[in-house]
Structure 1
Amino acid sequence: MKIRDFYEAAALDRRRFLIGSALGAGTLLMPGLVRPAFAEADLALASSIRSLSNAFHAAWNAGAEAFGSSIGARHAALVTEGNSEKGVADIRAFLAQHGAQAVLGVDPNDAPDARPIVEAVSAGGGFVTTVWNKPDDLHPWDFGNNYVAHMSFDGTPAGAQTAKALFEAMGGSGGIVALGGIPSNKPAIQRKAGLLEAVDANGNVELLDFQDADWDATKANSVVSAWITRFGSDIKGIWAANDGMAIGALEALRAEGLAGQIPVTGIDGTRDAVTAVRNGEMAATVDWDPFWIGGIALSLSYQAATGKIVPENEPQEHREFYAAGKLITQADIQEYWAANVEQSPPEPDWNDLWGRLDRQIN
């Protein structure tokens, strides 16, 4: 199936925008042992993500579906809706059904969730790749081959880059307000750190207020509406830790007739955000390519499940790494638009597991 077919069928963003007690059928594996490889048709693929109404995770799921289709394997979306207990329970249930045939790509709802998820998958003999969230002391190489890899993107420079783009768009000085993600999420922590670094380095910008909106557009809309009432014309720019909250902020500005007058930045590269950059309503976003993330997370786990790679034989930079993203501003939006919207990008090479590796996570 073509990439465009997935997007048209589900009205999703384009690719570039964007364990308990009952593990029944699982086979307990000792670290270091390589089990017989399964055929593609034997495997059960699943992605654990926050919400299909979230543009980032909708594109993630489209990429996961595309990868599953490419190998002829079934895929399920396990949606947490921001509930950690549900996220862990759904994965346990999936393991109880599929055991050692389970192949997972997981965005843990919160960093502590990664440990019980990884322990459950390892006990069941399945294979998992995590993205974004995990404790710093949890490492794939401590779980043999079952915890295949952890992939993330360095949010600190992204937070700083979008902040600097915001400052430039508002003329280099004035008051800003900022929207954070879930406070305990590693990406939220990093992106906030980047923002604060940029503010500290610029003596002409004042952070009027910072509030966490939990990656949620509706919460962000409510917070920004209150800020408009509270700060009025003192707000010269709005920084958001992801595109969903940035779009929520834009809706609040539109309601007051202020869209395009107060610049906004986000992070994720969703279609709505990239369009807003092109329309002059947002100053910048960062494209992580969630379509690729959804597919490559499953591909890493799948290649371990089928014996095409042996994770224990891979260097640590292949098992815990930052991938590269791209800053998009109004200065380069036309070039980006021509290459990624007007033209359909090629389908990802799902066998190129580390082609976008930036560096090992330290």
Structure 2
Amino acid sequence: MASFDATHSGGRFSRRGFLAAGAAGIAAASLPRRLSAATPPVLVTSIRSLSNPYHAVWKQGAEAFAKSVGAEHVTLVSEGNSEKGIADIRAMLAKTGGHMVLNSDPNDTPDARPIVEAATKAKAYVVTQWNKPSDLHPWDFNPYYISHIEFDGIASGKQIAEILFKAMGGSGGIVALGGMISTTAAIERKKGLDAALAANPNIKLLDFQVANWKATEAYTITSSLLTRFGDQIKGIWAANDDMGTGALEALRGEGLQGQVPIVGIDGIKAAVDAVKSGEYAATITSDPFWQGGMGLSLGYHAAMGTFDPAKEPKDHREFYGRVTLITKDNVAEYYKTHIDAQPVIDWNDIWGRCTGQIRPS
């Protein structure tokens, strides 16, 4: 049997409650899920790793939503292993008899298909985020595959690059750190960087290296690039903040923090702190707290019959969510509302951050 890390808001997941939820799900398996209002579905989050600050906040949002509806919540972590991530989801579907809602950030783009197919077969409601094949669509798996959520990576990658170039004075060399090259976000953010470079001929890309979203890899790579290029490096572009803060540690080791601007994406606390201190020029956040809670809210409301996914327009089934740019101009306010305090979110406003249908790739 696949192993998984099952936790819920408030501590270890209750075995008695888990078995009860599973029994209820099995008993209701022949009925439409939305008729099971007396036994709310188990809420399940599937993410890469809780050591990643972005996913740690995602889990907090999931727990906040679960608490708001009094439902059980389980977190599954793949630790970057696609086989484990898919196996753990299948194990949870079996244990709950399919009476569950899944909010999944697939480890890799191809992983979304077996996850969606397994959930649909079990009549469990599922939302995916960030990664899925372009030919996999929620409307082909009605009503159980509710929505796929992304954030416009091309626009974000381009925007942070332009801010970086401005912080550099409009000319000079940069190095860039990319995410897992097969994932949608990494591919799109690199396209955004490329577009910004094409429009700014006085900026030279000295090197682009894949650091797989990880601070440790980014630190090692940046240290090597600093040795190789020295003071030719006038800025660092990172496809996420875990890598960006890893690069920042490498700069600190050379006493260059604040002298070489960095930009990233995710809005993790370390990056927001760096924006405050002037070591970071900007970060963009998709609000992982919202992602963690709203993905479950969509599934929960569908399961409870609040809406019928099959009747929703396509721009509710595959959509870009809203992002927030964090710079020195608004970092103090952002810190007050998202770092010092837990964000206040209306979990019933399920379509409030839709900004348009995802464009075909």
User: Normalised by the size of structure 1, how large is the TM-score?
Assistant: 0.89
Amino-acid identity (%) = 56
- Worse overlay, 318-327 or 38-47: 38-47
Query: Among 191, 207, 211, which residue is 1:213 paired with?
Result: 211
Equivalent in the alignment of 1:358? 355
The question of 1:84 aligning with 2:82 is answered: yes
**Bigger relative contact order (CA 8 A; separation at least 6):** 1
CA deviation after TM superposition for structure 1 residue 333, in Å: 2.6
Q: Distance in 2 between matches of 1:218 and 1:187?
A: 20
Code of the residue aligned with 1:357 in structure 2: it is: C
CA distance in 2, matches of 1:195, 1:75: 38
Cα distance, 1:129 vs structure 2: 0.3
Within 5 Å, give how 1:10-89 maps onto structure 2. Answer: 25=26, 35-39=33-37, 41-89=39-87
State the Cα distance separating 1:332 from its structure 2 match: 3.3
Structure 2: runs of 5 or more not aligned: 1-9, 12-24
Please give the root-mean-square deviation of Cα atoms over the aligned residues, in Å: 1.9
Secondary structure of 1:321's counterpart equals strand
SS at match of 1:100: coil
Report the Cα distance in structure 1 between the residues aligned to 2:173 and 2:251, rounded to whole angstroms: 16
Whether the 8 Å contact between 1:106 and 1:130 is mirrored in structure 2 is yes
2:246 is matched with which residue? Answer: 248
Q: Distance in 2 between matches of 1:339 and 1:102?
A: 32
- What secondary structure is seen at the aligned counterpart in 1 of 2:281? strand
Contact 1:27/1:125 (CA < 8 Å) preserved in 2?
no
CA deviation map 1:48-93 (0-9, x unaligned) = 0011011100000000011111111111110011110000000000
**TM-superposed deviation, 1:331:** 3.4
Aligned residues: 337
By how many angstroms is 1:336 displaced? 3.4
> C-alpha separation between the residues in 1 aligned to 2:171 and 2:345?
41
1:291 aligns with 2:289: yes
| SS of match in other structure, 1:89 | helix
1:16: which partner in 2? none
Evaluate the alpha carbon distance shift between residue 35 and residue 61 of structure 1 in structure 2; reply closer, same or farther with a 3 A threshold: closer
Structure 2 CA distance for partners of 1:252 and 1:65, relative to 1, 3 Å: same
Preserved CA contact (<8 Å) 1:162 1:266? yes
How far apart, CA to CA, are the structure 2 residues paired with 1:54 and 1:350?
Answer: 24
Could you list the per-position Cα deviations for residues 163-216 of structure 1 after superposition, in whole angstroms to 9, with x for gaps in the alignment? 011111111110000000000100111100000100110010000000111111
CA offset digits 1:4-45 (Å, max 9, x no partner):
xxxxx99xxxxxxxxxxxxx949878xxx9544223744111
- SS in structure 1 opposite 2:197? helix
- Distance in 1 (CA, whole Å) between partners of 2:35 and 2:345 is 24
With structure 2 as the length reference, what TM-score do the two structures score? Answer: 0.89
Measure, in 2, the Cα distance between the counterparts of 1:199 and 1:331: 25
CA distance in 2, matches of 1:170, 1:106: 38
| Residue of structure 2 in register with 1:6 after alignment | none
Query: Which one of 192, 202, 225 corresponds to residue 223 of structure 2?
Result: 225
2:168 is aligned, of 166, 170, 184, to 170
| 1:200 counterpart residue number | 198
> Is 1:101 equivalent to 2:96 in the alignment?
no
Task: Supply the distance in 2 between the matched residues of 1:128 and 1:187 (Cα, whole angstroms).
Answer: 20
SS at match of 1:282: coil
State which of 308, 314, 324 in structure 2 corresponds to 1:310. 308
